[in-house]
Structure 1
């Protein structure tokens, strides 16, 4: 799959900037990220927002800006760091004890578990695992393979006793999840105790695939084969043609998508397309048409299932239906549906620019007086609508099945980016083409063009005019402004990028 040749537009760049802004929030600052649900145990929780921001970065880097690792690496690191914060995973201490309608009978068998990845909880552990292995693959960097690189730590002066500390790394975490999968006959690992959801086992498969791309292993292939066989007797789809939501681990009772909730099909389909494309594409048209609500002038909305009544209580949570259908449509390459959904979002979800970033703020009001849906939660508004705009058709499928060759990681690239907006970056036929705009956060931005060692002579142009030339990492000649805007060094060429309109650059190498 070749990179998208069109540069990112203002709206796509706004979504990336919003992801970056959220990643920079101080520890324990979850501004704009709190939804209707309580306790971080529903579908709009911090862990899902963080993970799918990282997935959106991965898809954008892989398919749109492959020669700009420096534009994504720091944000990705910050998202992983936030994923390890106690606010994200401490819900497991309570959820691990059971007591829901699906595991109430197991309460006496279960105990309070502080380690958030040692058993069950695939709805968290698989995301940490996949984020770490995505990072390793995309950036050719094994920092999360170091012992203790993924450590879950909690201590409070007021309660909880001694520090809880659970050191993992990307490989130990993968082994832990793999061991649970094998123990469960490849059917999957539970989210809540006894509840094996199809959806949350898909990220683990993606993580195993990224690990295989680094190691040459075949674990993802093994897991997929085992998963397919394990589900054959139950069927991935229910009688209505929708994805079965979950299976009870003890009784093997399958829970269908009884409410015909959009999030079940959309979330599962978008992720499963990574390794099961033909199946997902076959069922998509009949599934999605049950959820769409046509509007005026090309707009399309999504209908949500009525809120469930559980144990005498009306369930209040974030379904993220609208956002997941948009993400699903983007993966399916359904441009008409995606365009209609984004049209509705821009009309009725109050698109907001903040700190250079674009998002749709939370709104709990179901609809306007004219009946148009206005309900939107942070998972959709912060993440999924941006994810959908940044993705390409079969984006996860391409990430999974069409890996970069090793040459990619030695080709010239923008290896460091600071206070600069990158809307194009690709290397082909000996030319690095990129488009930059300085953000003026505190003076000129900075970009390092790395991996020039052994490339011989090069010529750097800006808007067609020669800016500088040289050999390997050395600058031999600067143009009109090249002497002050381009510096050579062992790490590559350091390019200063003053604020202003976007500028087009090319760097041609001789070998």
Structure 2
């Protein structure tokens, strides 16, 4: 008889989704952050929350003559992309933590110490250089033009900075429906006074002006690409403004990115920015000479590939097997003390990121495990990262067992964590399935104490009319934690389920379950013990 009743109950639940068992929604059916993934997230948020001018753990930066691939701007930008992937794929119903971090990273991006290298770098044509006896690149000639540079980091060239800023601002607008950067002067750059007693020089930008300045540069040079350093167009650096224009178009009804993607792809194919025989990305295009400089670098293929995949998916996936065969596993182990070349400290990170974007789970796992085994993983203030090795700028040699012995800050702080977090088609979905207005009308949570609790999962399933949330203890021990649920429909009755057990119904017209409280603004406050991980479901009946 009991078996018949159970079967009947299951049949009713299947026939009528509005009448369900406490277990008819399984939280494990939705993505959740692992402990290490959450550690990477916390480390990047910690970097975002540092005080202006504090670049602790972010490496050395001497931009007088040129900047490096570990520059602050790349660490801030890729942290923003990694947190965007986290929010989009794991916690789309947990907004405030990621919105604040995104805003903070943009603020840090426009801090003068991040971009004022351009006043120096814009003086030089860095393509006119050669290798010295130590394998370092040095300039071999200067011209009269090299005496003058300019301080505005966005107005011309320097797409290695402005392209990332555009992508960061576009992501912020799409993910949070937050248009603060459309306001005039919302992106204001202040350069130190040229002479004592003068006011700082201010250059005012906003989302609109930044997008237009970048689009115009693409068009002016017939879509060969925008220069990073003077006279050098890098394929990978031009992917980021394309992605930035895609989100600008989505939010503002323009069509800049359609033309840029179409015409830039023609250029890439005609000029072999990716060599059709080797399947490798060029080093750069010498603009004045109109000469493609070929190369074979894992960082270039990984960097260009992961970003271009967001708008040119099939093409990048056709290249990837050739690139993986070239770099994996040979990158991971070689002769003891053998020099790996000047790219050693970031080849690993950018290629791991490409592997994650195309969905090569096996390679991502191999590289993440490798980093855990050989890159001295460290927990600090709740965050998980790989510290930079001593002399990472100059020491390119393998260790005594032949493993990589060079970890720079962009790899250790951001790229490996990004690769570990990012699922297959992670960026592709963000740019091809952006959130419409309806997303921002769905139930979501806020006000989770960042130190006391980690939100490992937060998603609203609109087909099941259910909010699913998983909390785990944070780095600061607490006996209980609370969170606020917004935008529950006042006309509906919800069932509150914790770890598969129904705690009761939630509605405006009846007593609430223990630990819940209606706030004056109509949101629901839930308080719970948190000595271990708990999952909550709030499901409309």
TM over 0.5, shorter chain: yes
Is 1:400 the counterpart of 2:431 in the alignment?
Answer: yes
Q: CA deviation at 1:100?
A: 2.1
- Partner residue, 1:311: none
In 2 relative to 1, CA 355–242 (structure 1 residues): closer, same or farther, beyond 3 Å?
same
1:5 to 26, 30, 33: 30
3-state SS in 2 of match to 1:72: helix
3-state SS in 2 of match to 1:320: helix
In 2 relative to 1, CA 99–211 (structure 1 residues): closer, same or farther, beyond 3 Å?
closer
Greater shift after overlay, 457-466 or 410-419?
Answer: 457-466
Q: Distance in 2 between matches of 1:10 and 1:475?
A: 39
Q: Is the 8 A contact 2:344 2:406 kept in 1?
A: no
Q: Is the 8 A contact 2:382 2:475 kept in 1?
A: no
Q: Distance in 2 between matches of 1:489 and 1:226?
A: 54
Q: Distance in 2 between matches of 1:455 and 1:110?
A: 70
Q: CA deviation at 1:400?
A: 1.5
Q: Distance in 1 between matches of 2:198 and 2:67?
A: 24
1:242 to 277, 280, 284: 280
Greater shift after overlay, 229-238 or 150-159?
Answer: 150-159
Q: Distance in 2 between matches of 1:417 and 1:439?
A: 10
Structure showing greater radius of gyration is 2
3-state SS in 1 of match to 2:539: strand
**CA deviation map 1:482-505 (0-9, x unaligned):** 3xxx44232622334554212111
Q: CA deviation at 1:181?
A: 1.0
- Partner residue, 2:361: 335
2:263 to 214, 221, 226: 226
Q: Distance in 2 between matches of 1:111 and 1:352?
A: 44
3-state SS in 1 of match to 2:520: coil
- Partner residue, 1:162: 199
In 2 relative to 1, CA 337–185 (structure 1 residues): closer, same or farther, beyond 3 Å?
same
Q: Is the 8 A contact 2:298 2:351 kept in 1?
A: yes
Q: CA deviation at 1:226?
A: 1.6
- Partner residue, 2:53: 28
Query: May I ask how many residue pairs the two structures share in their alignment?
Result: 490
Q: Distance in 1 between matches of 2:522 and 2:193?
A: 43
Q: Distance in 2 between matches of 1:369 and 1:447?
A: 50
Q: Is the 8 A contact 2:386 2:413 kept in 1?
A: yes
Q: Is the 8 A contact 1:330 1:389 kept in 2?
A: yes
Greater shift after overlay, 150-159 or 388-397?
Answer: 150-159
Is 1:283 the counterpart of 2:319 in the alignment?
Answer: yes
Q: Distance in 2 between matches of 1:438 and 1:208?
A: 39
Is 1:411 the counterpart of 2:448 in the alignment?
Answer: no
Greater shift after overlay, 108-117 or 433-442?
Answer: 433-442
- Partner residue, 2:5: none
Pairing of 1:167-316 with structure 2 (within 5 A) = 167-238=204-275, 239-257=277-295, 260-293=296-329, 300=332
Q: CA deviation at 1:109?
A: 7.1
Is 1:424 the counterpart of 2:457 in the alignment?
Answer: yes
Unaligned runs of 5+ in 2: 1-27, 130-140
Q: Is the 8 A contact 2:299 2:343 kept in 1?
A: no
**CA deviation map 1:242-289 (0-9, x unaligned):** 1122212222111111xx221111111111111111111111111222
Q: Is the 8 A contact 1:301 1:373 kept in 2?
A: yes
3-state SS in 2 of match to 1:424: strand
In 2 relative to 1, CA 164–290 (structure 1 residues): closer, same or farther, beyond 3 Å?
same
1:320 to 343, 346, 366: 346
- Partner residue, 1:387: 418
**CA deviation map 1:129-160 (0-9, x unaligned):** 11011000001110111111111113369869
Q: Is the 8 A contact 2:515 2:528 kept in 1?
A: no
3-state SS in 2 of match to 1:290: helix
Q: Distance in 2 between matches of 1:301 and 1:475?
A: 66
3-state SS in 2 of match to 1:370: coil
In 2 relative to 1, CA 24–302 (structure 1 residues): closer, same or farther, beyond 3 Å?
farther
Q: Distance in 2 between matches of 1:146 and 1:38?
A: 31
RMSD between aligned residues: 2.8
- Partner residue, 1:368: 399
Greater shift after overlay, 198-207 or 226-235?
Answer: 226-235
Greater shift after overlay, 30-39 or 273-282?
Answer: 30-39
Q: Distance in 1 between matches of 2:80 and 2:144?
A: 35
Unaligned runs of 5+ in 1: 309-315
TM-score normalized by structure 1?
0.88
3-state SS in 2 of match to 1:247: strand
Q: Distance in 1 between matches of 2:423 and 2:482?
A: 29
Q: Is the 8 A contact 1:4 1:64 kept in 2?
A: no
In 2 relative to 1, CA 336–438 (structure 1 residues): closer, same or farther, beyond 3 Å?
closer
- Partner residue, 1:153: 190
TM-score normalized by structure 2?
0.84
3-state SS in 2 of match to 1:418: coil
Is 1:489 the counterpart of 2:525 in the alignment?
Answer: no
Q: Is the 8 A contact 1:69 1:139 kept in 2?
A: yes
Q: Is the 8 A contact 1:447 1:496 kept in 2?
A: yes
Q: Is the 8 A contact 2:310 2:427 kept in 1?
A: yes
